[in-house]
Amino acid sequence: METEERGKKVEGFGGNKRLSESPPDDDCCPICFGSFTVPCRSNCGHWYCGSCILQFWNYSSASRPCKCPMCACNIVNLMPEASLQQQQPSREVTEVLKSVQRYNLLFIGGARGFIQKVRELPFFIKRMFQGLMDPDANDTYVAEIRIFAILLSIIYQATPFDFIPTGGLGIGRVFDCSAMVLVLILRLVGIYRRRRLMQRVRRLAAVELLQE
């Protein structure tokens, strides 16, 4: 709610002007520094290419709203340019608009937002695993997978099943240790994949030098 209020206050200088329905003609996307393609306005009033801001979000935690690159405000709503709704969009534009709508539903809040998060659970898990395999990723994904492990332990305790040996550690501790082992394995896989990729790039570069 605080984020939404903050976004509403940024309606021009002093809060007296309404947010524009289209980006300024002399402005450019702050991410790609090019002309706007599928312009989208954040709730804090900044404009971005729809694909650019979604790709920027892809490098952050999937379960949290994207932070505005300009003011660090949580972006909980992306509003496409009004003219896009009045014309026949191309296939690429349609795909971006669908992704923007999907993003908005994730962070709309309330029961609808919770239902959308449940529906997107496989997407969150996939993003979490991809982030854990990135050697340069921060510890956000580690914290998220530990929280996920805690939730699984609570669900397990609420069921009549008792097939996991705990060895006196307690089921919560077992799930937490299992999560950390999984993190370690995924990080090692990520490092291995990066090394293989770098070796392949070096080989391709060497072949090109020989051909010259």
Find out whether 68 and 44 touch, Cβ atoms under 8 Å.
Answer: yes
Question: In this structure, is the dihedral angle defined by the CA atoms of residues 21, 23, 29 and 30, taken in order, positive or negative?
Answer: negative
**The pLDDT of residue 10:** 41
Angle of helix 121-132 relative to helix 140-158, nearest 10 degrees, comes to 130
What are the φ/ψ torsions at residue 40 (nearest 5 degrees)?
A: -130, 135
pLDDT at 46: 92
User: What residue spans of 70-135 are helical by DSSP H?
Assistant: 91-106, 110-119, 121-132
Q: What is the mean pLDDT of each run of 10 residues along the chain (212 residues)?
A: 40 45 83 90 92 84 80 90 74 88 81 73 74 71 79 84 78 86 87 87 82 72
Residues 6+ apart with CB under 8 A from 163: none
